[in-house]
Structure 1
Amino acid sequence: MASRNTRTTGRQIPAGRSSGSSQAPGTTVTLERAVDPSGVVTSLVRRTVHPSGLRIVTEQMAGVRSAAVGVWVGVGSRDESAELHGASHFLEHLLFKGTADRSALDISVALDRVGGEFNAFTAKEYTCFHARVLDDDLPLAIDVLSDMVTSSLITPEDVEAERDVILDEIAMHDDDPDDVVHNLFAAQAWGEDTPLGRGIAGTEESISALDRDAIHAFYRERYRPEQIVVSAAGNLDHETVVAEVVDAFGRAGFLERRATPVAPRGGSPLPVIPGQVEAQRPFEQVNLVLGMEGLRRDDDRRFALGVLNTAVGGGTSSRLFQEVRERRGLAYSVFSFTSSHAETGLVGVSVGCLPAKLDDVLETVRAELARVAEEGITLDELELGKGQLRGGLVLGLEDSASRMSRIGKAELVHDELLTIDDVLARIDAVTLEDCAKIAAEVFGRPELLAIVGPA
């Protein structure tokens, strides 16, 4: 762990899709190395690129007896056509249903028997299958996850059975006001008929229309070695993990699959569409998201925006929480957020309130954002924002699962793996002037507003 008693060394070596071509296949490089004052290595991050394009990234952690592994596939809901809306999430479910060597029950029993935890999730830009086990059981976890990812049967019977499960999940999210309003917000931002504007799980119509052949073709096309990163962290040895991953992924000729050309992300900036959209639901509260265009994920100003966001609405001492809830009693929940993608981003404020207080909430939030855009934040708010980001970063990396996620996501979707110390240094380098500039630019942009609640 990088802290006052640990120093991190090593270059910030480029990661992401371009890394596979810049590093010679079969070679291993060190991305990050942390040592304590006595010279003992406390963390070591290394990467190997297989000739097939499969990337393996590990972090060897001192003083732990667990290990976590994730299989990160570079496909998500934004990669789907309208006809395939929801296919990535559908696949996530189906890959747990069985392979040529394991039934669905076998998959569950294998990790339950050793007390392991495993799950999966789908995002707009990737899908991840992950497990956390005792260090001795890491080879088993690697074998089970690789079997699922490379050799799932995706039978017509499983497709039909899981279709109903996903339709239930969609209905469940439609009953959650927070899910509904944020999906509505994204649809307004980028258009409900665009890949980024559509919901991750699909719709009742799109899921009902998907058949086994379409899903299987999507699986064969998108689940390719060059689209996959395997990340692992904990009490492990990099070379051993590489050998186990190559052996496990080599089943059924998976590593010999030819690459399918995939259009790179992050081309021309994708503008955000301002405007207001509403949906009626029989909820007790009104939920709203008020926001505007933010920053792309590779924008160097993201650290200043992160500090600003935390100071404005990132906790109970933030400006919005104090003004909206503590002083005025207008809402129980209020927070600000940022989200970013390869070519676009959003900033926003999410609030849940009684219908009678909607107008007052909007007036107060707009006034506070306008004030920040005009005046910036105070020195106390700057230090508050930095402190929260620093603490959240370090405390969020205390276990092997979070470390596995950090290096996996950095390799798959970011341009570089920054050391923890480098991230802390970039946070500390943010000034009041930096925050004032980004506040004036972002909070001065045209707004978009999503509202969900009773008529």
Structure 2
Amino acid sequence: MINGENPNAFKSVLSNGLTVIGRQMPSLSSVAMGIWIGAGSRYETAKINGISHFLEHLLFKGTKKRSGEQLKQAIEGVGGSFNGFTSEEATCYLVKVVNKHTSLGLDVLSDMVKNPLLKEADIEKERRVIIQEIKMYEDLPSHYVHELFGELLWPDHPLGRNIAGTLQSVSSIKRKALLDYWEEYYQTGNSVFSISGNFKKETILSQIEGYFGKIKKGKRKKFLPAKRKINHPQIKLNFKETEQAHLCLGGIGLSRNHPDRYTLELLSTILGGNMSSRLFREVREKRSLAYAIRAESHQQHDTGAFVVSAGVAPERTKEALRVILKELKKIKEKNVSPGELKRAKDFLLGQLTLSLEDSSSYMLWLGSQQITEGRTETFKEVKDCINRVEEQDLKRIASLIFQNSNLKLALIGPLKNKEELFSFLKL
């Protein structure tokens, strides 16, 4: 069992040191599984920025046993889904199948991570694909503004770089660097296998041992710790002739290990987490300043971010900033009502409850925590943390995060006067 919460939840270690974490969900017909590697953009130097993501793409191109097409056909041919993703702190390859095809899913995933070909021709093809991916997101200001915001929060640090890399770094990564990276990071001490759905525990552990038990042993890899924040407001303005001004306003938040991280999650929910939030009401409903506006809290192992994002008419940018900043100031000066706090708690717990009814979401919940923190919070632990938060806690954390010295603004749009924007950047 995991922390004694649920008899259907378990954690085990294979003979080669690979950690397996899972939960049986016998009422379902599916099984979702993922192999997680402790390799992401914050493990990279500037020279090889994007290599974790590059390697993730390449593992879908073929193995010693299957071509890229055969990998996809094996899973999709039985109605399953097949994907991968790279974040700052991990890479994950995941499969979801009807439970009678569990063995096939295990076979395909293990084949990918153990036996990639990394052929020169595939590397050159995928290099061109990734370059187009980078250019695509640079052409999407609502996405790219978040990249600029990250550069403000963590300048000259891997966390402030694009997960996909830059045009220059991706163009220069060679096959040897990819092979070396795979050899160094794709080993048991740096990996986790997570699984949830309809299976028998002893049977699945035996199967996982059979498919993954020969992955080479190794040790957990380390990344560069987050640097201390810059203690003054900053603006990054990217002039572009767009119909909207796209902005990210916020600052350094709390880490995944911080005892008040759920307090900040509740603040984010109250400010801009749903359609009944303060910013949605003030910015969209009352003033029609934006179609999309939201507030979010993002956590990494040793740092985090709080961000309000929106797309507004360029000529109303200053008005939108004024309203957003007014709401941030208000929530740190005046207690949230008990009713509003209760609604935020119920929203977070309700959303988590609904997501964990799905085998894929539960697999991701387990694996993402285990690979980054080495442990998994139970639902009860999360619920207790959220329910312990009181009105004065919100005010305390708002006062900690929403300070002039912590304010960062990234903006893309037809605006040039940075000094004028600075005059608004005050709480």
TM-score normalized by the length of structure 1: 0.87
In structure 1, which of residues 168, 182, 187 is the aligned counterpart of residue 132 of structure 2?
A: 168
Distance 1:445 1:245 in 2: 51
2:148 to 184, 188, 193: 184
User: Distance between the aligned counterparts of 1:153 and 1:327, measured in 2?
Assistant: 57
Alpha carbons of structure 1 residues 394 and 445: separation in structure 2 relative to 1, 3 Å: farther
Aligned 8 A contact 1:376 1:440 in 2: no
SS in 2 for 1:351: strand
- Structure 1 CA distance for aligned equivalents of residues 163 and 381 of structure 2: 33
Distance (Å, rounded) in 1 between the aligned partners of 2:294 and 2:119: 44
Measured after TM superposition, the shift of residue 207 of structure 1 is 0.7
The answer for unaligned runs of 5 or more in structure 2 is 416-427
**1:95 has 2:59 as partner:** yes
Aligned to 1:277: 236
1:156-212: CA deviations, max 9, x gaps?
A: 111001111111111111111121100000011101x32000010011111111111
Q: What whole-Å deviation, never above 9, does each CA across 1:376-413 have from its counterpart, x for those lacking one?
A: 32222211211210111101111111111111112111
Aligned to 2:412: 452
1:405 corresponds to which of 359, 364, 367: 364
Output the CA distance in 2 between the equivalents of 1:68 and 1:415.
20
1:124 aligns to what SS in structure 2?
Answer: coil
Please state how far the C-alpha of 1:427 moved relative to its aligned partner. Answer: 1.4
- 3-state SS in 1 of match to 2:143: helix
What does 1:377-392 correspond to in 2, within 5 Å? Answer: 377-392=336-351
Quick check: 2:59–2:116 contact (8 Å CA) kept in 1?
Answer: yes
Structure 2 vs 1, CA of residues 244 and 316 (structure 1 numbering), >3 Å: closer, same or farther?
same
Match of 2:10 in 1: 46
The question of whether the paired residues in 2 share the 8 Å contact of 1:269 and 1:343 is answered with no
In the alignment, what sits opposite 1:41?
none
Farther off after superposition, 441-450 or 201-210: 441-450
Pair 415,439 (structure 1): closer, same or farther in 2 beyond 3 Å: farther
Which secondary structure state, in structure 1, belongs to the residue aligned with residue 263 of structure 2?
A: helix
Contact 1:287 1:453 in 2 (8 A): yes
Query: Are the counterparts in 2 of residues 298 and 415 from structure 1 also a CA contact under 8 Å?
Result: no
Whether the 8 Å CA contact 1:147–1:249 is kept in 2: the answer is no
User: Which secondary structure state, in structure 1, belongs to the residue aligned with residue 290 of structure 2?
Assistant: coil
Q: Which amino acid counterpart does residue 215 of structure 2 have in structure 1?
A: F
1:33 equivalent in structure 2: 6
Aligned to 1:3: none
Change (3 A) 1:261 1:436: closer
Match of 1:67 in 2: 31
Do the aligned partners of 2:2 and 2:376 also contact (CA within 8 Å) in 1?
no
Q: For 1:82, what is the secondary structure of its paired residue?
A: coil
Report the AA paired with residue 52 of structure 1.
N
User: For the residues of structure 1 that align with 2:248 and 2:17, how far apart are their CA atoms?
Assistant: 40
Contact 1:292 1:348 in 2 (8 A): yes
Tell me what 1:129 maps to: 93
d(CA) in 1 for partners of 2:223, 2:150: 22
Residues 242-261 of structure 1: pairs in structure 2 closer than 5 A: 242-250=205-213, 254-255=215-216, 257=217, 259-260=218-219
Match of 2:166 among 192, 203, 206: 203
Give the gaps of 5 or more residues in structure 1: 1-9, 13-30, 35-43
Residue 225 of structure 1: aligned partner: 188
Superposition pairs of residues 333-344 of structure 1, within 5 angstroms: 333-344=292-303
Superposition deviation, residue 261 in structure 1: 6.3
Query: Judging changes above 3 Å, is the alpha-carbon distance between structure 1 residues 97 and 224 closer, same or farther for their aligned structure 2 residues?
Result: same
On the 8 A contact 1:119/1:129 being kept in 2, the answer is: yes
Partners of 1:32 and 1:46 within 8 A in 2: no
SS of alignment partner, residue 388 of structure 1: helix
CA RMSD after TM alignment: 1.7
1:24 maps to none
Offset from partner CA, 1:128-150 (integer Å, 9 cap, x none): 10011000101100110111011
Quick one: structure 1 residues 172 and 450, their matched pair in 2 at CA, closer, same or farther if it must change by over 3 Å?
same
Structure 2 partner of 1:28: none
Offset from partner CA, 1:22-54 (integer Å, 9 cap, x none): xxxxxxxxx5316xxxxxxxxx11111124221
Contact 1:290-1:449 within 8 A present in 2 as well: yes
TM-superposed deviation, 1:280: 2.1
CA distance in 1: counterparts of 2:66 and 2:263, whole angstroms: 48
Residues 326-355 of structure 1, C-alpha deviation per residue, up to 9 Å, x if partnerless? 111111111101111122111111011010
Structure 2 SS opposite 1:295: coil
Displacement of 1:416 in angstroms is: 3.3
> What is the aligned residue count?
413
State the TM-score, normalized to the length of structure 2.
Answer: 0.93
The reply to whether residue 432 of structure 1 matches residue 395 of structure 2 is no
Structure 2 letter corresponding to 1:200: I
Q: Quote the Cα distance in structure 2 between the aligned partners of 1:340 and 1:324.
A: 26
Does the 8 A contact of 2:154 with 2:227 survive in 1? no
Looking at structure 2, the residues matched to 297 and 66 of structure 1 have their Cα atoms a distance apart, in angstroms, of 30
Mapping for residues 133-152 of structure 1, pairs under 5 Å: 133-152=97-116
Secondary structure at the residue paired with 2:336? coil
CA contact (8 A) 2:197 2:359 kept: yes
AA partner of residue 212 (structure 1) = R
Q: Which moved more, 1:376-385 or 1:149-158?
A: 376-385
Q: 1:11 offset after TM fit, Å?
A: 6.3
| Residue 260 of structure 1: how far off its partner (Å) | 5.0
